[in-house]
Amino acid sequence: MKRVTIDELKERTKVKAATLLSGALGVAAVMVTVTPSAADPRAVVELFTSQGCSSCPPADKVLGELAKDPNVIALSLPVDYWDYLGWKDTLADSRFSARQKAYSGMRGDRDVYTPQAVVNGSVHVLGSDQAGIEQAAIRTKTDGVMSVPVTMKKSGMQMEVAVAAANGKSGEIWICAVSKQVPITIARGENRGHQITYHNVVRNILKVGDWNGKAGSWSVPLENIARDGVDAAAVYIQDGNRDKPGPMLGAAFTSLN
């Protein structure tokens, strides 16, 4: 794992954005905010962050802004590999560290750092670069990415997930237990003395089932999702599998309260 300089990553993102704008958009003006129509699929933004990373608080704020957009499913996935720096992340999960490494393996690079945003399961961007994240959301919406309609709603003591048909597609369905806001006071480490609010923090993740491209529905007991502080849920269909995650095919988000 590494922490590269902010300037280095920003420069890399600027180059990618410039290439995108000149080659794909062919216009001088840039729409900074992702605002697809109601019929368009949402973008999934996964922020790999850490309470022990001094570069992360600006990215945590950016994720909070993205979480306000109903067309973006923004998720915080705190990692545990900086715990040795003097502060053990109180929200970290080793599964998120493994997920970040799996993404790097699928891309074929060694870019594992914090704060890192992975957009639609394929492109990584500096987590504090909101414009870069939004451009990545546009860039990655090709070849069926985020094109599969997914719905999720509570029904009694169950969470009902429905997925539309999409010929030639397949993947895994996962559901995340989410805490919308978690304020943390950090006593030691690089962020000591700061109180940081983390947004849409994933507190647990469960596999719902395999999807073969046919329309289907699944029921998940709420007791498998709900826990102290959990007030929302996200579900996504992803190409590949847990060890070899591919592009996001569809997703949904709902409050539990």
What does the pLDDT read at residue 121? 98
Edge-to-edge strands of the sheet including 171-185?
123-126, 116-119, 43-49, 72-78, 195-211, 171-185, 232-240, 245-255
d(CA 124, CA 113): 10
Phi, psi dihedrals of residue 12, rounded to the nearest 5°: -60, -40
Question: How do residues 36-57 score in pLDDT, each as one tens digit?
Answer: 333 355 899 999 999 999 999 9
d(CA 172, CA 161): 13
The model's confidence at residue 1, banded by pLDDT at 50, 70 and 90, is low
Side-chain-side CA neighbours of 230 within 13 Å: the count stands at 18
pTM as predicted: 0.85
For 160, the token pair is 């009902």
What does the pLDDT read at residue 227? 86
The model's confidence at residue 62, banded by pLDDT at 50, 70 and 90, is very high
Say if residue 106 is exposed, middle or buried (CB neighbours under 10 Å; 0-12, 13-18, 19+): middle
Task: Classify domain 6-255 at the CATH superfamily level.
Answer: Glutaredoxin (3.40.30.10)
d(CA 63, CA 46): 9
Domain boundaries, the chain: 6-255
**Residues 148, 163 contacting (CB under 8 angstroms):** yes
What does the pLDDT read at residue 41? 56
